[in-house]
Amino acid sequence: MRTIYRSEPPWPHRILILGGGFAGVETARHLEKLTRRRDDIEIWLVSRENFSLFTPLLPEVCSGNLEARHCVTALRAQLRRPSSWALTADVESIDLDGKQVVVMGGDGESHRLNYDSLVIALGGETATFGIKGIHEWAVGMKTLADAFALRNRIIEMLERAELEADADERAAQLTFVVGGAGFSGVETAGEIEDFVRRVRRRFYPKIVHGELSFHIVELKERVLPEMPQDMGDYAATKLRRRGYEIHLGTPMKEVREDGVVIGDGTFIPSRTVIWTGGVQPSPVVRESGIETDHAGRALVKPTMQTSRDGVWAIGDCALIPKADEDGAFHAPTAQNAVREATRLAKNMVASIDGRPDRVLPFRYKVVGILASIGSHTGVGMVFGIKVRGWLAWFMWRGYYWSRVPGIGGKARVALDWFLNSLFGSDPVQLKVDYPDTGGMGPSGTRRPPPRSVDPRA
C-alpha cells in the first residue's frame, strides 16, 4: 500500500472530502471560495466516479428526455483552485486514530491518504431491507447505471412483446411494477408510464394500449409521505387515471424472475420490477468507528461535527439535528445537502483558524418541495402555497434546471428538453456491456433467460 503525497513541506492543512455528490462537491466549492487567497489549505475530493450525478433528473435519463451525459458533471470541472484535487477511487476504510483513509484506485491498488480534516459525504446506497430477490431481479433508481439498465429493460420488453406468442408471458412483459411511492418512486413511475405509452403509439403497433399494466407497491398508507396528505392524494389520483394500480399499505415480499409477490401473497407477473423503496448510508460510515444511529448514519452535532475532532459528516449519510427543534432532523435531500455544505465550509475554516465562536449550527427552513409525476404534471408546496398540475411541473423543471451546475450544463439540459418536445422519444436501446451477474446497480441489465419466439405468430 502506498501513501500519496502531493505537496512539498511545509505541508498545507489537508481537507479530505469523501464523496462527490451534492454534499461533497458543494462543500469543496464553498471551501475553495473561502480559502481562495490562502495557500495553507488544500482540498482533496475523493469519489467513486469522476462525476457528480444530478439525481432529480435521473428518471428523465431513463425515458430519454435527457441525455445521460447531461445529467452528470465532471468533478474536475467543478474544482477551480490549483491546490484542489479530485481523485477517482473507492473509499475502503477510515482510520480515525491514524488520520488516514484507505482508498482503492483504478489501478486496483490500495492507497493511504492522510488528512488533517475529514468530511464524510458518502451519501446512501439502495437498501433492500432483506426483501428476497431484489438484488437478483429488480432494477434500482439511484445511479446512472440504474437509469440505463431500466431504460434497456423497458425497451427490451417492448421489443419482445411484439414477438411474443404466449399470452401470459406477453402480459408479464407489458407489466411494470414500481416498489416505493416516495419522491423517487413517484417520479420514476410518472416518467416510465409516459415513456412507454409514447413509444408504444409510435413504434410498437402490435402492442395495444389496454395491454399495458402499471403498478405501484407502497408499504405506507399513502403516496408521497413527504408531502401534505392532499398533495399525495392528488398525485395518486393522477397516476390512477393514467392507468396505475396503487397498492397502499402493502409490502413487497419477494421479487422473482417472472414477477413480484406482494402483501397478502398476491403475485403480479412482471419482467420489470423497479425498486425505489429505501436508501441506506454507505457501510464505510459505520465501519469507521464514529458514532452512528441504528441505520448507520453518522450522529453529528447541529454544526455537523462528529464525535471525533476534525471529522465532519454531511448529506444523506449524516443525521443532522435541527438546532431549534428538539428531536427533529434535517431530511436527506439534495436541497438540504447543498445548504448544509455552505455552513459546513464556514465551520471548517473557522475551526482550522481556531475560532470556535464562529462554528455555528446549520439552520435552514425548506421553502418548498416539488415532485414531477409525468405527463407535464407536478405537485408540491412552495412558501406554504400548494401547487399542482402543469404549474407545479413547470416550477419543478425551472427550479431543478436553475440548479444544474454551470451555464454549459444548463444549456445542454434545456436543449435536450426542447428537442424532445419537438421530436418526441425514441426507443433506442443502448446495450452497454455490463457484467451479467445480478439485477441491481451496474449489473442491472440482467435479462430473463432466452425464450423461443415465433416471429410469424
Ligand X SMILES: Cc1cc2nc3c(=O)[nH]c(=O)nc-3n(C[C@H](O)[C@H](O)[C@H](O)COP(=O)(O)OP(=O)(O)OC[C@H]3O[C@@H](n4cnc5c(N)ncnc54)[C@H](O)[C@@H]3O)c2cc1C
Q: Which three cell numbers stand for residue 13?
A: 492543512
Q: Which three cell numbers stand for residue 455?
A: 416471429
Residues in Cβ contact with 280 at an 8 Å cutoff, skipping those fewer than 6 apart: 124, 125, 126, 127, 295, 296
Interacting positions 32-51 with ligand X (CB under 6 A): 47-49
Cβ nearer to ligand X, comparing 144 with 236? 144
**Does residue 60 belong to the site contacting ligand X (CB under 6 A)?**
no
Cβ nearer to ligand X, comparing 203 with 329? 329
The DSSP 8-state label assigned to residue 4 in this structure reads: P
Residue in 78, 152, 250, 282 binding ligand X, rule: CB under 6 A = 282
Least gap, CB of 443 to ligand X (angstroms)? 16
Cα gap 426→288, rounded to integer Å: 46
Cβ nearer to ligand X, comparing 120 with 219? 120
Interacting positions 107-166 with ligand X (CB under 6 A): 121-124, 141-142
The DSSP 8-state label assigned to residue 292 in this structure reads: B
Binding mask 354-393 for ligand X (x = CB under 6 A): ----------------------------------------
Cβ nearer to ligand X, comparing 178 with 196? 178
**Does residue 335 belong to the site contacting ligand X (CB under 6 A)?**
yes
Least gap, CB of 125 to ligand X (angstroms)? 7
Cβ nearer to ligand X, comparing 121 with 348? 121
**Does residue 22 belong to the site contacting ligand X (CB under 6 A)?**
yes
Interacting stretch for ligand X, rule CB under 6 A, among 6-14, 56-64, 343-351, 422-430?
Answer: 56-64
Cis peptide before 10 (omega within 30 of 0): yes
Interacting stretch for ligand X, rule CB under 6 A, among 36-44, 288-296, 329-337, 349-357?
Answer: 329-337
Q: Which three cell numbers stand for residue 336?
A: 438540504
Q: Which residues pair with 313 in a beta bridge?
A: 120
Is 455 exposed, middle or buried, given 0-12, 13-18 or 19+ CB atoms closer than 10 A? exposed
Least gap, CB of 122 to ligand X (angstroms)? 4
**Does residue 91 belong to the site contacting ligand X (CB under 6 A)?**
yes
Nearest alpha carbon to residue 213 among 232, 223, 200: 200
Helix 389-403 and helix 407-423, axial crossing angle in degrees, nearest 10: 140
**Does residue 28 belong to the site contacting ligand X (CB under 6 A)?**
no
Cα gap 260→217, rounded to integer Å: 10
Asked whether the beta carbons of 85 and 45 are under 8 A apart, the reply is yes
Q: Which residue is nearest to ligand X (CB)?
A: 21
Asked whether the beta carbons of 316 and 337 are under 8 A apart, the reply is yes
273 φ/ψ angles, rounded to the nearest 5 degrees: -115, 125
> For binding to ligand X (CB under 6 A), which residues are involved?
19-24, 47-49, 55-56, 58-59, 90-91, 121-124, 141-142, 183-184, 282, 284, 315-316, 332-335, 337
